[in-house]
Amino acid sequence: MRNLLVALVVLLAASCKGGYSFTGGDVGNAKTLSVTAFGNTSDLVNPMLAQRFTTELQSVMVRQTPLSLVGREGDLQFGGAIVEYSVRSEAPAANDQVAQSRLSMSVEVEFVNTLDDKKSFTQRFSAFRNFPATTDLRSVEDALVEEMVSELSDKIFNRALVQW
């Protein structure tokens, strides 16, 4: 019985066409992807943010698809810039004090699907994290940035390859 089940799964997987990965991304007939280095045009600049974001986006795409990462001119191409990185007071507290601060990040992404131009897009993706206003940003920045970069990379993956 077990051999029959394994054979059915193998047969089903072999009969699927269209470049679907096991994580749900549809890569079509694409074989390669490229992610050019993202710039940082925001007013507040974290010197490592652009590199960190580019690396995470590359990692997500390679991990969740069968595509090979190439330096440039992939079948699927990602590029863009960090256009917002800011901190502002968010939630008021008693006595005109601020209870929370918000770290925000927005990325403008240009996605080019060289095999199916209808799937190409330019879009802004945003994420934020709140933290206590009494906390110094430097003490929580790395952890918050890591969370936002991961969230943004997942959003971009879903928009480009899952079409959510």
The predicted model scores a pTM of 0.80
pLDDT value for 52:
97
Domains of the chain: 18-162 (3.30.160.150)
DSSP bridge partners of 34: 77
What CA–CA distance (Å, rounded) separates 57 from 41? 18
Residue 98 has pLDDT above 90, yes or no: no
- Tell me the average pLDDT across 40-59: 94
DSSP bridge partners of 101: 89, 131
- Tell me the average pLDDT across 41-62: 94
The rounded mean pLDDT for the chain is 84
**Among 63, 53, 31, which Cα is nearest to 105's?**
53
| Residue 95 vs residue 149, higher pLDDT | 149
Residues in the chain: 164
Confidence of residue 6 (pLDDT cuts 50, 70, 90): very low
pLDDT value for 95:
62
How many whole angstroms from its chain centre is CA 161?
11
Residue 139 has pLDDT above 90, yes or no: yes
What CA–CA distance (Å, rounded) separates 98 from 90? 7
- Tell me the average pLDDT across 87-110: 82
Q: List, for residues 11-28, the tens digit of each pLDDT value.
A: 334 334 344 444 456 788
Q: Which residue has the tokens 């679907």?
A: 20
Say what percent of the chain tops pLDDT 70. 79
